[in-house]
Structure 1
């Protein structure tokens, strides 16, 4: 016999116990088993520098729901976890530690510095993994991958070499995002835009060898030293006559052309654009298209270079100030006006980004992108919600070459060796013994490392053993679903699809589920530094993992954003208590000597409530499964929540109580027990993917269950129990009981007072139904039903109509009618005063004209609500007269 269930559920005593149990039983682990259909997910690898935030918690919950559900459905379900080495972030953390000791990485040298990074990783790099375990995720920890581990590193290097030898990877000069503080190129994701109150400077560029000038507006006057053209839109009537002419660059004297380019926005500034190809990404493209000169005037330290002339050696901001002074002094500055713009900064250190031309390693993307576009167009990879497909296409159709190199020490070092004798670049997986061109052994490896996104682009492949043709790869690849955030669709999702098609000729996953972004209650991005972040670990410590998971999942709709409301967690806490109390009641009323699996309900006579709850259970199983199949996580949890609380607990459990205590009818008692057991058991199974701990705890205390809920079979719809007629009849009974309860509530009838309810209906079927199940009314509304033959017109009679049935309750003897009448009269008088006050306000012309529209609308809604309340009380007063 299983132990009794405690009166109070304590998540603190349960969660660690069951997580340890699952690990010991090896339930999370999956091996190749060709007798089963596979289902696999790769965990988006969090940075080793990171700690769990709400986005991680939501995404991990979504994936765990999917993997637990499919595991229960009989799939061979694999969820591969891992972490990313996070090149720039990790290097910065360790460099900060060194600064506290008064050292830099250069003091240690590359080898010693990397030893220090690995030491840091061993001490702190698994923090987020342990936090994920607190959430209850069922990842296969035996398959844990780290992007810098030996096996995975081999995949990264192999991919680089193959792509280089196919001609996709090259080294050349292009414009990139450069951080002067971190001294490295940055990916787009490592650039953070912050609002800056700055200015637009309007500068006169004199026409060459003729009178007049053209005015440009710029937010960065210091870069004008590198201008090599002025561009206007060819359709801009203001400037058509100037196209092809030249201007003299102020302060510099360089003669530069006025060119036409359709990318120029005529509405910005003056519609004339200064073109600085070496210091602006858009200008770089214009410069290439029009064969302009590229002049770099800012160096890698954010200092004005040799080409800046007399401004050489100044910082960017110092140069900006000096340029403004000189432009004003020489009469070139027309005006300066305030301008709010998005300043590109380094996400790690906050330093303003400098777009610089730099020699870097790049990957040609156009040919890799074409098949990746095609598989999404054909639906071989589906985006959920579908609208995110557009974001993918917008980037892929306009894709640019990818800057792969980073000027860091922590990361996958580029496998390129330069011959010191002939300069040839040797690209191989291992260091070559000699130069393939001249035979020299004097080789030097490239100092740079690869962009972290290059290694993560191989995640579905590398985690399954590629480049080896492993059994895992052949069985679990392609993976089933990728769940991720919208801001990395381009930087990660698209690149994984390209790499999967390039190296495996298959898509890496069939579905991309883009989860909502978790925002603050006010709709702003969460930020720990601004104090607006919510730590999911605090929620877990306060409410438990189950409540945290459920509270997140119930908000996970197809909307773009999710606004965090702690009320969801409070409500879920109440739901958890409801589950526990229901389980306590059911288990305490079961016979542990009976195997409830062996009882065939089809061979017994079932009551209306039996048929109804069994039918509703089948519908719930169907709906829950359908919601999960279609990634409707909020609808999934709402469906089981509503069924369990509003139908099973509020109705069926209450109706079962008299049967359980009726020893004179053992068959009815047995049927009630079996159905209570079955509905509780299957409800726990339906809830398990989102609330794994409490469901396991209850499962272990239920009789007639086996081993673990985690490996139990997912409920299936049994068509024999679907009974539309029973559902319709029971819904009518329930609505009738609600109407009687409403009368009790409206007239403040004491809860334990048994009331006599008379009903009149021309519908013989309804009459027989109400007579046959009058016991339900007594159990749930303390009401005795009786039939009458004609309509009641008695004084002090409350009346409700449900479909074609009239219900009457004589209030005399149940309440103090005169006292209740005076109470209602007083409430009405107060309401009349309130209505008069609101109507006067709304008739006041000054209020209507001066008050904000939302305030006026709120007053109108208030008036409507008051009038409805008056109608309700007037009817009650009429009955009490």
Structure 2
């Protein structure tokens, strides 16, 4: 026998491959655009510079990298543009906490020194998430990495602000905003987390000014009554419509305020009377605008009562003021009742403080003129949402859009390019020198100006991301080549905050849409479908899944920052129960394949460790199969020259390869990642490893011609090489490692699999006759294996087989495929029975009209097998009865979580099917 060679280790070691190949790919510049193909560009949604890679990031980045690698291998000029967001609030908080630990504040340093301190922090610690993305295999062009505060983007942000202001689309005005009283800044809706909390509903009596009685208002925030401007009732409410136009005297304050009629009031809620505080409630603000009510601000920036309130309450924290006001109402006999009440409480996602609707001077973008062309771009198909239904969410937001508050009271960020003269006049300019020149022209002399202290909302700079990262406002080669970009991959939760704003800004400043398609993916949840959160203790860290983590470290990680000891104890117990040995190392490829397999369009995904374990096994299966294939290749023999003949099984696997290539391409082109992953998995594991490799063994080890054996070896290695290229976008490391050894043997040498062409199906290579014949052969083998399984016959035991019925083609095929049937079905003999001959007691399976019979005499103890099956049926019936009993209990169905009830129903279905299958086997035994 010729000498054989293999260069693959006995076991696949993911960590070694990951450390070996990623530095090579990056150092060789493989991630940079190349060639003359069609430009293809994806923008990385810039993660916060303070961030770490969580499951949502890992999922989204995997999908983007799959698309990037797929298009790169197709020969497209492919750019995955990376970068990070300066994350105004989060970054400032990190550095302020460092200063606080040293007994300092940012005010001690001053603005300039504080900004320098943040830049120092970024240089040392700001690239953590980018390093983690590299661990994931992300093939971004890191040579083009951008930062929303870098010099080029900062210049572009200023340019956009100035142009919008010149057109009257940016203005300064006093309106209600979400105000964080701890951070002392306005925050966006996305930075406000509203969760249900226990509270109270206070029913307060407001006396009518004419002394004829009182109205009862219900409120969850008694402290805001100091700023009440009216009491509203529904204009058609018969109880109160006669009072509209009269006034009440505001208790504790003594101010007369009107009773107004407004459709906003729900007559069924509370007493049907609503206190209106326009300066401290968004809905009340709208009512106030309709009725020209005064805006009475009663809070300081840190949510204490200000000097516009009665002296008794000035300087009190809002919570202290609440208690004092309730007590004073009770003392005055004006507290009607107090009821427990659940309410949605808005808290800042960073400070956790209760957010106040607060009246301040802020900068705004007049959004309606920008929204109209952005709506049209989706309506006319220049931008397509995938799945299509998400465009409805987009339209709903865009048709009801409000002006955008873009200023933040922070130091870290793009400082607003506006300067104030001594009389308060505003000069917006690209530089201080330009502002000074404007002021000199206006005042007739050089005047000292003061720059606006505020910075821009981080969403403002990220709205410009698709074109500013490519060099705009300069017409750079990259901008001309890659804009508009090809696709945006993002979650549904930021369609308005980011997607819509990029569309508006892209159209405004380039005249083109920023991207052609928007692929909306779901959220990553735990195996039970629950949202991952630290408070629930169900968070999985993608790096832990890649590298593994022991139990004690995992427990510490999940509980170390929890303030509530009881909650921490509960999470520790749950963690020890779920991961008694910690989390093993699965490697990057298994994690990526899991994400791809779960990425069904638009749906949230349930991440189950069993899935990732299965795909780690898939990587090992491919590795071991590749080692076997390499061991079949004679040293020094060129498989790509010399005479070769393809057997029917060779032609079958080549046909299946063409079909799979077409299926995978269509799936990737349609953003059906799960379909692509399933097709690749089925081909490699099922068709190639489980069937084709086994079907080649009789050829390579049997009495077949050298031409057929060379054909089998050639096909083994060529199909494997193509399958590796097919798999590469999803599993880059294992595919590269194996391809380096396989590609030269297949006549496809190259520097890297990621630069090799993506497999292109050839319909002319599909041999339908070979497909039908091999499917018939596999059906026969499966039939015999089914009998083995049902009759509990050892897999390795050789058994006799009787054949009966069928037609002439079946007889011819049985003769021709005899070597494959004998080996793969583990047959001791095959014998045809005449149609009129009664077979001995046997288990039967059909392939078409062909009967395959395995005589059971001497193979199994019929009595013992019958007893075993009956015992198993009884056990399953008892389990089913218990589940049926639970569902028959109305209390269980009503009180148990919906997913628990659903699991019981699924369990009953599974048990019923298992019992049905065992009954079939018992009937077969009874017929023997």
TM-score, length-scaled by structure 2:
0.90
After superposition, what is the alpha-carbon deviation per residue over 1:119-164, rounded to whole angstroms, capped at 9, x for unaligned? 1111100111111101111110110101111111101111111111
Q: Distance in 2 between matches of 1:265 and 1:130?
A: 54
Q: Distance in 2 between matches of 1:840 and 1:486?
A: 42
Query: In the superposition, relative to structure 1, how do residues 507 and 879 fare at CA in structure 2: closer, same or farther (>3 Å)?
Result: same
The match for 2:278 is 277
Structure 1: where are the runs of 5+ without partners? none
The match for 2:753 is 709
The counterpart of 1:607, out of the listed 647, 657, 661, is: 647
The 5 A counterparts of 1:296-311 are: 296-309=297-310, 310-311=312-313
The match for 1:828 is 870
For the residue of structure 2 that corresponds to 1:359, the secondary structure is strand
The 5 A counterparts of 1:391-430 are: 391-420=393-422, 422-430=423-431
Does the aligned pair in 1 maintain the 2:644–2:710 contact within 8 Å?
no
Does the aligned pair in 2 maintain the 1:304–1:312 contact within 8 Å?
yes
User: Is residue 18 from structure 1 mapped to residue 21 from structure 2 by the alignment?
Assistant: yes
User: Is residue 105 from structure 1 mapped to residue 106 from structure 2 by the alignment?
Assistant: yes
Q: Distance in 1 between matches of 2:18 and 2:871?
A: 56
The match for 2:588 is 545
The 5 A counterparts of 1:524-535 are: 524-528=530-534, 531-535=537-541
The counterpart of 2:922, out of the listed 866, 869, 874, is: 874
Does the aligned pair in 2 maintain the 1:828–1:873 contact within 8 Å?
no
Query: In the superposition, relative to structure 1, how do residues 442 and 333 fare at CA in structure 2: closer, same or farther (>3 Å)?
Result: same
Q: Shift in Å at residue 69 of structure 1?
A: 0.1
Q: Shift in Å at residue 288 of structure 1?
A: 1.4
User: Is residue 520 from structure 1 mapped to residue 526 from structure 2 by the alignment?
Assistant: yes
The 5 A counterparts of 1:621-632 are: 621-632=661-672
The counterpart of 2:826, out of the listed 757, 777, 782, is: 782
Does the aligned pair in 2 maintain the 1:18–1:693 contact within 8 Å?
yes
The match for 1:584 is 627
Structure 2: where are the runs of 5+ without partners? 548-584, 895-900
The 5 A counterparts of 1:276-675 are: 276-309=277-310, 310-420=312-422, 422-432=423-433, 433-434=436-437, 435=439, 436-438=441-443, 439-528=445-534, 531-541=537-547, 542-591=585-634, 593=636, 606-662=646-702, 664-675=704-715
For the residue of structure 2 that corresponds to 1:800, the secondary structure is strand
After superposition, what is the alpha-carbon deviation per residue over 1:288-309, rounded to whole angstroms, capped at 9, x for unaligned? 1221111011111110112221
Q: Shift in Å at residue 597 of structure 1?
A: 5.7
Query: In the superposition, relative to structure 1, how do residues 214 and 93 fare at CA in structure 2: closer, same or farther (>3 Å)?
Result: same
After superposition, what is the alpha-carbon deviation per residue over 1:719-744, rounded to whole angstroms, capped at 9, x for unaligned? 11223343333223222211111111
Q: Distance in 2 between matches of 1:261 and 1:359?
A: 28
For the residue of structure 2 that corresponds to 1:306, the secondary structure is coil
The match for 2:62 is 61
Q: Distance in 2 between matches of 1:13 and 1:835?
A: 50
Q: Distance in 1 between matches of 2:922 and 2:752?
A: 58
Q: Shift in Å at residue 825 of structure 1?
A: 2.4
Q: Distance in 1 between matches of 2:156 and 2:5?
A: 51
After superposition, what is the alpha-carbon deviation per residue over 1:567-617, rounded to whole angstroms, capped at 9, x for unaligned? 111111100100101111112212464555668xxx965433222211111
Q: Distance in 2 between matches of 1:122 and 1:329?
A: 60
Q: Shift in Å at residue 219 of structure 1?
A: 1.2
Q: Shift in Å at residue 443 of structure 1?
A: 1.2
Q: Distance in 2 between matches of 1:835 and 1:49?
A: 56
More displaced 10-residue stretch of structure 1: 700-709 or 246-255:
246-255
The counterpart of 1:760, out of the listed 794, 804, 824, is: 804
After superposition, what is the alpha-carbon deviation per residue over 1:661-684, rounded to whole angstroms, capped at 9, x for unaligned? 347511111111122112211111
For the residue of structure 1 that corresponds to 2:308, the secondary structure is helix
Q: Distance in 2 between matches of 1:755 and 1:288?
A: 89
Q: Shift in Å at residue 870 of structure 1?
A: 4.8
The match for 2:573 is none
The 5 A counterparts of 1:734-773 are: 734-773=778-817
Does the aligned pair in 2 maintain the 1:797–1:811 contact within 8 Å?
yes
The match for 2:162 is 161
Q: Distance in 2 between matches of 1:669 and 1:481?
A: 47
Does the aligned pair in 2 maintain the 1:795–1:879 contact within 8 Å?
no
Does the aligned pair in 1 maintain the 2:244–2:260 contact within 8 Å?
yes
TM-score, length-scaled by structure 1:
0.94
Aligned alpha-carbon RMSD (Å): 2.5
More displaced 10-residue stretch of structure 1: 327-336 or 828-837:
828-837
Query: In the superposition, relative to structure 1, how do residues 268 and 376 fare at CA in structure 2: closer, same or farther (>3 Å)?
Result: farther
Q: Shift in Å at residue 75 of structure 1?
A: 0.2
Q: Distance in 1 between matches of 2:628 and 2:62?
A: 30
Does the aligned pair in 2 maintain the 1:233–1:271 contact within 8 Å?
yes
Size of the aligned set, in residue pairs, is: 870
For the residue of structure 2 that corresponds to 1:554, the secondary structure is helix
Q: Distance in 2 between matches of 1:797 and 1:623?
A: 41
The 5 A counterparts of 1:784-803 are: 784-790=829-835, 793-803=838-848
Does the aligned pair in 1 maintain the 2:42–2:79 contact within 8 Å?
yes
Q: Distance in 2 between matches of 1:504 and 1:557?
A: 33
The match for 1:852 is 893
After superposition, what is the alpha-carbon deviation per residue over 1:224-244, rounded to whole angstroms, capped at 9, x for unaligned? 111112234445565544444
Query: In the superposition, relative to structure 1, how do residues 737 and 328 fare at CA in structure 2: closer, same or farther (>3 Å)?
Result: same
The match for 2:558 is none
Query: In the superposition, relative to structure 1, how do residues 836 and 49 fare at CA in structure 2: closer, same or farther (>3 Å)?
Result: closer
